[in-house]
Amino acid sequence: DAGITQSPRHKVTETGTPVTLRCHQTENHRYMYWYRQDPGHGLRLIHYSYGVKDTDKGEVSDGYSVSRSKTEDFLLTLESATSSQTSVYFCAISPGTARHGYTFGSGTRLTVV
Amino acid sequence: QKEVEQDPGPLSVPEGAIVSLNCTYSNSAFQYFMWYRQYSRKGPELLMYTYSSGNKEDGRFTAQVDKSSKYISLFIRDSQPSDSATYLCAMSEGRDDKIIFGKGTRLHILP
């Protein structure tokens, strides 16, 4: 996906361990988002950022934290991974009006065992 | 009532058929409407966006918005096996950066 990169692409981790997912953009967009996608639930917003050091919670933020120290990087941390956090995680970016939609990354497939 | 409703499918149609995908919504303030296509194990990609009511055509794809009925549609003409994917509708009021997504409809085009 042009301008947005997620890492890692796949990860298997054990219950109780901390995990950090990274989203990197080269578009200089102000807004960045973390979603999780699960069967039957669609895309659910975890956290979002509207600028460096400016973040806010989404609808499923419990157990997750985020940080944005640079415009281009938005990190999602699972403080202590649980099996219910097994999911596909997508990062998205937007210049700020949402009128033309978000651009999504390719996703990170996380399995918590 | 959820803000955006979308039938999850799956919807299976033969190659060459016209496909109709739909969403309903409850928020009359929505003015910007989008359709995303998501292939298996990929991120959603923006397919089309429209503003307010009316139609917008792009090749084999036509997006239609009926604000009076709070109903949007995506039509795919001459459907191809490569159109097999999950299609998500999305909408925004346009006042801020918030987009509401439907849960997606899985589409299978049968060769």
Q: Which DSSP category does B53 fall into?
A: S
Q: What is the mean pLDDT of each run of 10 residues along chain A (113 residues)?
A: 89 97 96 95 94 94 97 97 98 85 96 98
How far apart are alpha carbons A61 and A47 in whole angstroms? 6
Q: Which of B45, B43, B47 is nearest to B33 (CA)?
A: B47
Q: What is the pLDDT of residues B14-61, one digit of tens each?
A: 999 999 999 999 999 999 999 999 999 999 999 999 988 889 999 999
Please give, rounded to a whole number of angstroms, the shortest distance from the CA of A59 to a CA of chain B. 12
Q: Which DSSP category does A85 fall into?
A: G
Contacts of B41 in chain A (CB under 8 A): 107, 109
Asked if A64 is an interface residue toward chain B (Cβ–Cβ < 8 A), one would say: no
The amino acid that residue B60 corresponds to is R
List residues of B whose CB lies inside 8 A of any A CB: 8, 32, 34, 36, 41-46, 49, 51, 88, 90, 92, 94, 96-99, 101-104
Q: What is the arithmetic mean of pLDDT over B89-94?
A: 92
How far apart are alpha carbons A84 and A3 in whole angstroms? 30
How far apart are alpha carbons B10 and A71 in whole angstroms? 39
How far is the CA of A42 from the CAs of A30, A48, B67, in angstroms?
24, 17, 24
B7 near B105, Cβ under 8 Å? yes
Q: What is the pLDDT of residues B69-85, one digit of tens each?
A: 999 999 999 999 999 99
How far apart are alpha carbons A49 and A56 in whole angstroms? 6
Please give, rounded to a whole number of angstroms, the shortest distance from the CA of A43 to a CA of chain B. 7
Res. B6 pLDDT band, cuts 50 70 90: very high
Q: Do A100 and B46 touch (CB under 8 A)?
A: yes
Res. B1 pLDDT band, cuts 50 70 90: low
Q: What pLDDT score was predicted for residue B54?
A: 85
How many angstroms from the chain centroid is the CA of residue A101?
Answer: 17
* Residue labelled with tokens 């409809």: B105
A12 near A74, Cβ under 8 Å? no
The amino acid that residue B13 corresponds to is V
